[in-house]
Structure 1
């Protein structure tokens, strides 16, 4: 499938729509993190499937990864990437855990990370559904036990020609004035991206009409 032709303005509109969704997600996350949270989409890129898998594999050895699939009219997923430092900070703030073992995640910590991913993906999907008038929902998040590339095959293999569109989202939350960055990858397949473009172009035509 050839790469969709996207103007700079359309990229900006998509970023803005996602940022609106993320603002709602940030408010929900702030309630758990007990502090200010900022979620922003700094970058949008179309990348090859093998590049996506390479990117995710790079994080796999150093991060605990939570995956949430986006289903319905759109096909995609979010991956939240938690480093040992994120897990320690979140465990202290949200679970009042003082001595956190690095490199190990207990059941309570895993539940917390799943809940954070659920809140962020859920809030974002709800906002996207409202803005784009689409019937979409997030499936319950999971912590893949096998290689992440295997768990992404559902999305990748069903669409062997697709070129995923990856949005890198930088999540910043501050606690005691220390800022923590939490990477979140949001990606859609090409046909979903084309649907989103069509919807945006319809908005544009409506404005001109």
Structure 2
């Protein structure tokens, strides 16, 4: 197994890069949600493949999962996890439809979830590309049919020495003072993770220098 070591400072820098991207995503998401949106990266960790698949499979029976792949210089994906309650609430807030969610997505509901995933993944990828000077892009989001591991096969199979770096993001938006939280998993393969660390280390070790993109 490829070992990857990360200092606390490097961990903080990666989280800050992602938070910059999420701040931009929150502004775009707010336009759809018609209210304030807060996005924050609360955690990041290195985990084994089987732990990742176990984590995802836990959500599969209770959530609709929207996947967006990250390609180019980096290899990874985002998974946004929508529960029945999330979908009903988003349908009400964003589409003005109070009919709820009956266990099967309508065309409008699926389009909405894909658009939310597209906005958030797109903003993250754009900011990471800008800050890390990398050529990366997000593929159009999709709602995988069937077992999610099959959908993630490209990332898992092409990289057998795979220790994904997983970020958990809690997307929180409020509407009429009611809060809705949407879990988001962002992960990269170990080669990408090492590339990111190398890029960070190639800068003078001044956080402001790396993150001064305004």
Tell me if both proteins adopt one fold, taking TM over 0.5 as the criterion: yes
CA–CA separation in structure 1 for the residues paired with 2:163 and 2:108: 36
Q: Which residue of 2 aligns with 1:69?
A: 69
Alignment partner, residue 90 of structure 2 = 90
Once the two structures are TM-superposed, the CA of residue 104 in structure 1 deviates from its matched residue by: 2.1
Task: Indicate if the aligned counterparts of 2:18 and 2:128 stay in contact, CA closer than 8 A.
Answer: yes
Partner residue in 2 for 1:29: 29
1:30-179 correspondence to structure 2 within 5 Å: 30-179=30-179
Q: What TM-score, normalized by structure 2, do the two folds share?
A: 0.94
Structure 1, residues 133-172: CA drift from partner, whole Å, max 9, x if none? 0000000000001111110011101001110000000100
CA RMSD of aligned residues (A): 1.1
Structure 1 residue runs of 4 or more that deviate by more than 3 Å after TM superposition:
none
Residue 101 of structure 1 and its aligned partner are, at CA, apart by 3.1
Does residue 1:195 correspond to 2:205, yes or no? no
In the TM superposition, what is the alpha-carbon distance from 1:205 to its structure 2 partner?
4.8
Count of matched residue positions in the alignment of Structure 1 and Structure 2: 207
Distance 1:205 1:127 in 2: 20
Unaligned runs of 5+ in 2: 210-214
Helix, strand or coil: the match of 2:124? Answer: helix
Partners in 1 of 2:44 and 2:204 — Cα distance? Answer: 21
Distance 1:17 1:3 in 2: 23
TM-score (norm 1): 0.96
Listed one character per residue, the Cα deviations across residues 83-138 of structure 1 (whole Å, up to 9, x for unaligned) are 01110111001111111133221111001100110011011100110010000000
